[in-house]
């Protein structure tokens, strides 16, 4: 665990810098819409019996005219998995349950049904193994082919810089992961999802960290463009109803299937930060 201390600190610093840049970009969009909405940041500390340094994070939430609710969280936590959970985590076991995790997680629910909602996260974890994971996926209540293609193109380019197989592998993984089996529908129009990019040595860590940074940069570049394209479109009651029903599906996925939700709950994370992904309003028919 200790051999990755400097790398964990470097990843943490990057995630915090990315958060600040994303939040500034989103606040700039609110200003363009005539809104003074800003992120409110709430620090939280994790508690674990017998652990003097369990870590914590900062929950950032903004509710505005364009972003009905957007959360951007950064956390860095240290500790031990519960025995019954340890065996499900890469490199952990009942005999070696220790872990460190640092990452950024973002979910944006938009006021205008024509503007796609979005999810993005990247993370670095160490157990007896060390690896990066993350991705981003677009979740439009009213899909536009132009938006879908531009979103995928941004991540296709990010992947191509590092490995010619990444985009095909990780976009397929996103399609499989962001799926709601009990509804037999996809959560959105996909993106990329990756996990267990192993860091067997420092050169591997540097390669995987560079890729993870490019995933963050791709998101920051493409999503504000999509928001600006759609945020001024007119919408009616039927559009809003479609959005609210779609949000119900989104909530179902995050509460039933999402690994990040489970990881946060099983490691003593902040409940409000874990559940910030839930929409501010949703309906079920």
2-277: which CATH architecture?
3-Layer(aba) Sandwich (3.40)
Please tell me the pTM assigned to this model: 0.93
Average pLDDT over residues 259-264: 84
Average pLDDT over residues 131-158: 98
Average pLDDT over residues 51-75: 95
Q: Which two tokens stand for residue 257?
A: 């299937």
Flag whether pLDDT at 171 surpasses 80: yes
> So what's the pLDDT on residue 145?
98
The active-site residue out of 78, 109, 114, 119 is: 119
Q: Are 217 and 158 in contact (CB under 8 A)?
A: yes
The ranges assigned to domains in the chain are 2-277
- Tokens 């591997």 belong to 204
The answer to whether 119 is a known catalytic residue is yes
> So what's the pLDDT on residue 253?
94
DSSP H helices in the chain: 5-32, 83-86, 145-160, 166-177, 202-230, 237-256, 259-266, 271-274
């Amino acid at each position: 665990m200790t051999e990755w201390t400097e790398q964990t600190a470097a990843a943490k610093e990057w995630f915090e810098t990315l958060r600040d840049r994303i939040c500034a970009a989103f606040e700039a969009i609110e200003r363009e819409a005539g809104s003074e909405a800003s992120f409110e940041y709430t620090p939280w500390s994790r508690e674990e019996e017998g652990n003097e340094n369990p870590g914590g994070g900062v929950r950032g939430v903004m509710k505005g005219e364009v972003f009905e609710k957007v959360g951007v969280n950064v956390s860095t936590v240290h500790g031990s998995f519960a025995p019954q959970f340890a065996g499900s985590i890469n490199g952990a076991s009942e005999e070696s349950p220790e872990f460190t995790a640092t990452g950024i997680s973002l979910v944006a629910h938009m006021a205008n049904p024509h503007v796609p909602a979005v999810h993005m996260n990247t993370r670095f974890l160490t157990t007896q193994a060390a690896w990066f994971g993350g991705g981003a996926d677009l979740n439009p209540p009213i899909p536009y082919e132009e938006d879908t293609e531009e979103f995928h193109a941004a991540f296709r380019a990010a992947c191509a810089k590092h490995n010619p197989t990444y985009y095909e592998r990780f976009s397929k993984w996103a399609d499989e992961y962001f799926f709601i089996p009990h509804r037999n529908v996809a959560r959105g129009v996909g993106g990329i999802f990756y996990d267990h990019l192993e860091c067997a040595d420092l050169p591997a860590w540097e390669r995987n960290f560079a890729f993870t940074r490019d995933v963050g940069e791709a998101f920051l570049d493409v999503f504000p463009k999509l928001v600006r394209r759609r945020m001024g479109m007119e919408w009616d009651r039927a559009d809003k109803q479609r959005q609210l029903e779609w949000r119900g599906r989104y909530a179902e996925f995050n509460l039933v299937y999402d690994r990040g939700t489970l990881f946060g709950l099983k490691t003593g994370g902040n409940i409000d930060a874990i559940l910030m992904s839930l929409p501010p309003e949703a309906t079920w028919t």
